[in-house]
Amino acid sequence: MSIQGFVRVAAACPVIRVVDCKFNSEQTLVLIQDACKREVNIAVFPELGLTGYTCGDLFQHRMLRESAREALLWLVKEARNIYPGLCIVGVPIELNGCIFNCAAVFQSGEILGLVPKTFLPNYHEFQEARYFSTPDALQQNHIILGGKSIPFGTDLLFEATDVEGLIFGVELCEDLWVPIPPSSYQAIAGATILFNLSASNEVLGKVEYRKQLVANQSARCIAGYVYSSSGYGESSTDIVFGGHGLIAEIGTILAESTRFQRESQLTIADLDLDHILHDRTHIKTFHQNQEASLRRSFRRIPITVVSTHARQRLPLARSVIAHPFVPSEFTHLNIACKEIFQTQTMAMAKRLEHVGTSSVSIGVSGGLDSTLALIAICKSFDMLSRCRSGIRAFSMPGFGTSLRTMNNAARLMRSLNVSITEIDIRRLAFDQMKAIDHFPFGINIDKLDFESFVTELNRLPTHSRHDLVFENIQARIRTNLLMNTGFVIGTGDMSELALGWCTYNADQMSMYNPNANIPKTLVKFLVKWIAESDCHGLDRDTLLDIVATEISPELLPLTNGVQPQSTEATIGPYELHDFFLYHFLRWGATPDKILFLARHAKFDKDYSLEEIKKWLIVFITRFFANQFKRSCMPDGPKVGSVGLSPRGDWRMPSDAHAQAWLDRLDQFPSV
């Protein structure tokens, strides 16, 4: 079986000599040996790699074709004892008086199939129709080669018997450049990985277009796409080949070779079959193409892929991003951040225009979430050419509010020129606790006035400062006050909703929430980005101090003026929870795979594997237990690839059990 759904592939580009088939097969074998050492499962080589692509009219000479056939048989034999994986090499094949530009697929000393090129370019520098025939000229679907009957045709798919979902198809160069490439039909028929043997020469601007073709075809086909093009050694009479290797998965380039190298190269990546299979089951329009008469009949060739060397691989031959919600490429940083703000701003502006309100209310705590939401609503008012005085910002300190967050909230609101109101909610909370006969921390409040109660709170030992009702009363008072003042802007983020780290009908509720589908790690990143790049008149030091403040609900009483509550100490680090959330929602990853990926994301540098597993259990347990809070979450714009809206991305019964997911973790104690 495969390791957590990963299949290691390679785009190989050996140095060649034009028409020197012996030399070319030997150089190919060297890269096959390298592929074996690096645990590659399937390696693809360039188009006509055993002869060279630029042989010209020499392709019409029988001597070259016989030499190529002998080189192929020699290579298949020699690779048998040194490489258990699959190879795909380019070779000219003659059959019934026609010459075909072919891909030969072989493994363990056997040629499994020959796939001819479908579309022959015959324009500009390409004159393939001069030498080769199209598959239309095929009169039979097999060929005798090396004394064996071998499947021959464009209708071949290679299906693994030992890896669920691994089926691959092959096309050659120009096949990718046509309106409907053969790989499109292969994917519809079930191929999850597509290989392309190419000889694409280099001209100015072509490299980016080529990358777009590969990435886009992998996206349209919801597949992995492995592309290998000719390199050093091809004739430079009129054109030059750079040796471009590309590996893509569902629209993302995972690996790319360095072009214009004078030595052989092996470009490697691990393709995630789980990603591909998840999206194919999730995106129903992919299968509608079959109903549109695009289905073709394919012969399935059985293969084995990883049974001989299935072991844990460290590291993965692909990057696993520790913070998948956070923009990582510096060149795209500003674009991504501005896109998020524009999404929030446009959504808020539309909603305000629709409901016809000229003012909004928002609670500002001095924390990350309310900071981002307040800045977003200010931008919406600016877009609508409305005065920011219509933004009613409320500071509502309670029993756990620290001086640091109070001051930061005040400075933030002043710098944004919004209307500011401060309401101390402590006395209101005290009155409500009296009304419902709740004795917080065992204090008999019936016999105390407010001032005496505050004195008693200050005497509490640290270990006894736990009372959920005490916390929820404060949270609901704040929301109730806001609701009574007008149209309420929510501030809670997607991570809190995922974990249920919010009070039902309190910070969980609003009339619109621009942060609803933004996870905590991205909220923190955005606030920091504003501080460091575009403050818009805001106090940079205040924003940076908000970023540096420990995340806390600030609901329990302070201990000597210090906040005893730490959200991450209670429920776990948000960077881990956001990592879990992304892979759980976006890819439907199993718990054991999430642990595996977390290890490769280098989290084990800061957390032990036991800690990561502990917090993953917390995530799973809380996620399943708190769907009822998400089922009635307010409207809010989707800004990324995943969301939790019950009207959009995520529909889940509130009574779903997490046991199967927790049991899966118990089955994999060592990761």
Around 512, how many Cα atoms within 13 Å sit in the side-chain half-sphere?
Answer: 25
Count of CB atoms situated within 10 Å of the CB of 452: 12
Last residue within a domain, chosen from 285, 303, 321: 303
Residue 10, pLDDT above cutoff 80: yes
> 167 and 43 in one domain?
yes
Count of CB atoms situated within 10 Å of the CB of 87: 26
Closest CA to 429 of 473, 475, 384: 473
Asked if 264 contacts 28 with a C-beta cutoff of 8 angstroms, the reply is: no
Residue, of 308 and 317, whose pLDDT is higher: 317
Reported as a single tens digit per residue, the pLDDT across 459-506 is 888 777 789 999 999 999 999 999 999 999 999 999 999 999 999 999
Predicted confidence band at 1 (pLDDT cuts at 50, 70, 90)? Answer: very low
Residue 311 lies in a domain: no
Residue 323 lies in a domain: no
Dihedral sign for Cα atoms in the order 618, 623, 624, 629: positive
> 610 and 466 in one domain?
yes
**What CATH number should be reported for the domain holding residue 264?**
3.60.110.10
Reported as a single tens digit per residue, the pLDDT across 624-649 is 999 999 999 999 999 988 999 999 88
Selected catalytic residue, list 13, 39, 102, 117: 117
Residue 504 lies in a domain: yes
Quick one: which H or E segment has residue 43?
strand 42-44
Count of CB atoms situated within 10 Å of the CB of 253: 16
Reported as a single tens digit per residue, the pLDDT across 543-552 is 999 999 999 9
Burial class (CB in 10 A: 0-12, 13-18, 19+), 515: buried
Entry pTM: 0.93
Lowest mean pLDDT among 30-39, 313-322, 378-387: 313-322
> 297 and 246 in one domain?
yes
Residue 343 lies in a domain: yes
In the predicted model, what is the mean pLDDT of the chain? 93
Residue 310 lies in a domain: no
> 356 and 223 in one domain?
no
> 62 and 13 in one domain?
yes
The pLDDT value given to residue 535: 64
> 370 and 269 in one domain?
no
Over residues 37-57, mean pLDDT: 97
Selected catalytic residue, list 13, 55, 102, 173: 173
- Which residues touch 192 (CB under 8 Å, ≥6 apart)? 165, 166, 167, 168, 223, 224, 273, 276, 277, 280
Selected catalytic residue, list 47, 174, 256, 554: 47
Quick one: which H or E segment has residue 151?
strand 148-151
> How many domains are contained in the chain?
2
Answer yes or no: 47 catalytic. Answer: yes
Residue, of 116 and 236, whose pLDDT is higher: 116
Residue 317 lies in a domain: no
498 - beta bridge partners?
A: none
**What CATH number should be reported for the domain holding residue 375?**
3.40.50.620
Reported as a single tens digit per residue, the pLDDT across 336-384 is 888 998 999 999 999 999 999 999 999 999 999 999 999 999 999 999 9
Residue 314, pLDDT above cutoff 80: no
Range of the domain at 134: 7-303
Bond preceding residue 324 cis, omega within 30 of 0 = no
Residue 544 lies in a domain: yes
Task: Record the tokens describing residue 504, joined without a space.
Answer: 């039902």
Reported as a single tens digit per residue, the pLDDT across 396-440 is 999 999 999 999 999 999 999 999 999 999 999 999 999 999 999
Closest CA to 371 of 505, 528, 504, 153: 528
> 135 and 257 in one domain?
yes
